[in-house]
Structure 1
Amino acid sequence: MERPRFRIYFLHPRFWPLWLGLGSLWLLVQLPYRVLLVLGRGLGLAMYRLAGARRRIARRNLQLCLGHLDAGQRERLLKANFISTGIAFFEMAMSWWWPQRRLQRLAHVEGLEHLQRAAAEGQGVILMALHFTTLEIGAALLGQRHTIDGMYRQHKNPLFDYVQRRGRERHNPDATAIEREDVRTMLKVLRAGRAIWYAPDQDYGRKQSLFVPLFGISAATVTATSKFARLGKARVVPFTQERLADGSGYRLTLHAPLADFPGESEAADCLRINQWIEREVTALPEQYLWAHRRFKTRPEGEEGLY
C-alpha cells in the first residue's frame, strides 16, 4: 500500500471539527509524561461512568473469564481497566506526534535478538500480539528498534485515516501497511523475511475460525496464524508490552519463537494460542481490552452471552 498523502480535500469545512480536536490533542500531548498519565486516569474514570454499553461488555467479559474473583474485585479491576483505556488515548497521540528521541526514553525492550536473528537468516516473522490498551505505543516503540509491518483496516474518515497512518508509519520508513484481507501481500512480505504485527485474540466471526476453549468458554478462534506461518514459511514470535506502574515507561517483551508451529492440526494450534492468551491476560488483566465482545459468535444452538 502506498504512503498516505495529504489532499487539499482535507481542508474542506466538514473536517474542521476534526482538525480542531486533533490540534487540541496535539497541544495537550506536549505536556510531561506523568501529567499525561494523570489526565488519562481522569479520562478513564469519566469513561467508566459514561460509557454504559462498553462498561457492560467489559464487566460481562470479566465475569466470564475471571469468575474466580469476587464481584468487588472484578468491579475494581473494571475501573482500573477503564483508567488504562483513558491513558491509552494519550499514548496513541504520543506515538503519533512525540519526537522519536523523547519516545525512546520510555522503552525497555527485552528479547529483540529473536527478531534480529530471524532477519539475519532471512526468515519472516509473525509478531503475535494481543489487544492490550498499550498496543499503539507498544508497536511504535518496537518500530523504532526494528522494522515491522502491520495489518491495516482503513478508517471510514479519510482525514483521520491519513493522520493515523502517517503517525504509525513514521517509525518505520520502509514499513508496509497491509489491508487485513490482503492475504497474498502478507504472504509475500513474510517470504521476503520481514516481520508483521498480527493479533489473533478477537472474534472475527465463523469464517476462517474454529471453536476452541478460551478461559473455559468456546471461542471463535481464527486459524490464520497457522496458515500464515505455514504458507509464509514464517516463525511465530509472541510479543507483549506492559505500562510500568512506576511511570518509567513500557516493558516490551519479544518471547522465544513458538517451537514446532504449526503443529499437528489447526485446532491444536488455536488451543495453544488461546492458552498463551490466557496466561498473558491473567498476568496483566487491567491493561487488556475487555470492551471487545470476544464471545459474540456462538456455536450452533448456544444462546448469546451478552
Structure 2
Amino acid sequence: MPKRRSLLKRIMRRFPQASAIARLWRLLADWPLGRLWRCAKWLGPQVYRLSRRERHVTNANLKAAYPTLTGDERKSLAHQSLRHSSATMLELGHAWMAEPERVTNSILVVHGREKLDNARAEGRGVIVLAPHFGNWEVLNFWLSSHFPFTAMYEPPKMPALDPIIRHGRERMGAALVPTNPRGVAALLKALKRSEAIGILPDQEPSWGSGVFAPFFGRDAYTATLLPKLVARTQARVVTGVALRVPGKGFEIHFLDADERVYHEDDVQSATGVNVSVEAAIALDPAQYQWEYKRYGKTPEEQQKLPNYRDYRLY
C-alpha cells in the first residue's frame, strides 16, 4: 500500500498536469461500487443531454445495429448505455488503484475459465478478444492475475497520463507492448510460449490494416491481425468480457469465438470476429460502448481515401 501510493505521488509530481485526474481516480478507488453506480445512473442522462457528440453517435450506432427498435426504445437503450459507459470511467480507479483484494472480491464469478486452461494444457496460446463491453479493465486485472498475459497498448492522447494508466494495467503482471511490428512480434512470442494475449476486436484500424466485414449487418472496417496470429501459432480464440452487476461487482465470461475466426481468408476471419463480438454484446446490449464510431470507414471511402471526418453517418 505505501509503495503504491508513493509511486503515484512521484508520478503526479513529475506530471502535474495529470494530477487532478489521478487524484480523482485515487479518490474513486476507495468508493464502494454501489456508490459509483449511483453516480453513473445520474451522470449517464446528463451526458446524453449535454454532449451532442455522444448522443448522436450512440443513437446512430443503435439505429444501425437494431433498426427495428422504436425511437423511444432506442433512446432508452442509449440512456442505459451511457450510464454503463459512465460507470466504466468512474470505475477506473477501482480497477487500477484499489487494493488487489478488493478488485478480486468484486469479481463475483468466472464463467468459461476452462476454455483457457484447456488450451494451455494442450500447449496452445490463447487469444482473448476483449470488446469494449462492461468493464474491460477489470477483465485485464483478472487475466493478468491468473495467466502470463500480454496486450497491445497505445499511449493516451494526454501523454502525462501514460505512466499512471500503464502502472494500473501492469500492476498484476500484464506485459504491455506497442501497436507496431515490434508489438506484434511480442504477441507471437507470447502465444508460442502458450500464454494468453488480449486483442481489441472492435477498434477501427488504420487504412491498410483491415477489411470490411459485417457487424450487425452493416460493413465495419475490422482489423486483420487475428488470422495472422492464428496461422503462425495455432492459438485458441475466445471472447472475454467483464459483465457489470450494477452496484455489486462483475461476472467474467469467456465465450467460444465463432469458428470463422480460424479461417485463412481475412474477410471470413473478420466476419467471425464481429459475430463473436455480437454474441458478447447479446449478454446485455446496454453494456457495450455504443458511443465509439465503429462505422467510421466505408468501402466507398476506401476507394478514394478521403479524410476520416468527411464521413457523414455520424
Question: What TM-score results when the alignment is normalised by the length of structure 1?
Answer: 0.88
Once superposed, which parts of structure 1, at least 4 consecutive aligned residues long, lie more than 6 Å away? 5-9
Aligned residue number for residue 176 of structure 1? 175
- Aligned to 1:196, what secondary structure does the other structure show? strand
Instruction: Structure 1: give runs of 5+ residues left out of the alignment.
Output: none
Task: State the Cα distance separating 1:277 from its structure 2 match.
Answer: 2.1
Whole-Å separation in 2 of the counterparts to 1:9 and 1:113? 39
Structure 1 counterpart of 2:42, one-letter code: G
- Aligned to 1:131, what secondary structure does the other structure show? coil
Deviations, residues 230-278 of structure 1 (Å, cap 9, x unaligned): 1233211221221124x33111112246657522522222222222222
Aligned residue number for residue 217 of structure 1? 218
Q: Please provide the CA RMSD for this pair.
A: 2.4
Q: Contact (CA 8 Å) 1:42, 1:86: kept in 2 or not? A: no
Higher mean Cα deviation, 197-206 or 159-168?
197-206
Aligned residue number for residue 11 of structure 1? 13
Task: State the Cα distance separating 1:100 from its structure 2 match.
Answer: 1.0
Q: Contact (CA 8 Å) 1:30, 1:98: kept in 2 or not? A: yes
Whole-Å separation in 2 of the counterparts to 1:102 and 1:301? 47
Q: Does 1:305 align with 2:301?
A: no
Q: Does 1:265 align with 2:273?
A: no
Whole-Å separation in 2 of the counterparts to 1:43 and 1:16? 27
Give the 3 Å change call, closer, same or farther, for CA 213–256 of structure 1 in structure 2: closer
Higher mean Cα deviation, 105-114 or 149-158?
149-158
Higher mean Cα deviation, 131-140 or 15-24?
15-24
Task: State the Cα distance separating 1:9 from its structure 2 match.
Answer: 8.3
- Aligned to 2:291, what secondary structure does the other structure show? coil
Instruction: Structure 2: give runs of 5+ residues left out of the alignment.
Output: 1-6, 303-310
Whole-Å separation in 2 of the counterparts to 1:213 and 1:256? 19
Correspondence 1:234-245 to 2 at 5 A = 234-245=235-246
Aligned residue number for residue 99 of structure 1? 99
Higher mean Cα deviation, 279-288 or 62-71?
279-288
Give the 3 Å change call, closer, same or farther, for CA 34–271 of structure 1 in structure 2: same
Aligned residue number for residue 148 of structure 1? 149
- Aligned to 1:136, what secondary structure does the other structure show? helix
Percent of residue pairs bearing the same amino acid type: 28
- Aligned to 1:300, what secondary structure does the other structure show? helix
Q: Contact (CA 8 Å) 2:84, 2:134: kept in 1 or not? A: yes
Whole-Å separation in 2 of the counterparts to 1:248 and 1:7? 30
- Aligned to 1:132, what secondary structure does the other structure show? coil
Task: State the Cα distance separating 1:282 from its structure 2 match.
Answer: 3.4
Between Structure 1 and Structure 2, the one with more helix by share is 2
Task: State the Cα distance separating 1:152 from its structure 2 match.
Answer: 0.5
Q: Contact (CA 8 Å) 1:134, 1:243: kept in 2 or not? A: yes
Q: Contact (CA 8 Å) 1:210, 1:220: kept in 2 or not? A: yes
Structure 1 counterpart of 2:106, one-letter code: L
Give the 3 Å change call, closer, same or farther, for CA 10–39 of structure 1 in structure 2: closer
Whole-Å separation in 2 of the counterparts to 1:258 and 1:271? 9
Q: Contact (CA 8 Å) 2:257, 2:273: kept in 1 or not? A: no
Q: Contact (CA 8 Å) 1:6, 1:162: kept in 2 or not? A: no
Q: Contact (CA 8 Å) 1:148, 1:194: kept in 2 or not? A: yes
Deviations, residues 266-303 of structure 1 (Å, cap 9, x unaligned): 22222222222223223321110111111111112697
Q: Contact (CA 8 Å) 1:219, 1:297: kept in 2 or not? A: yes
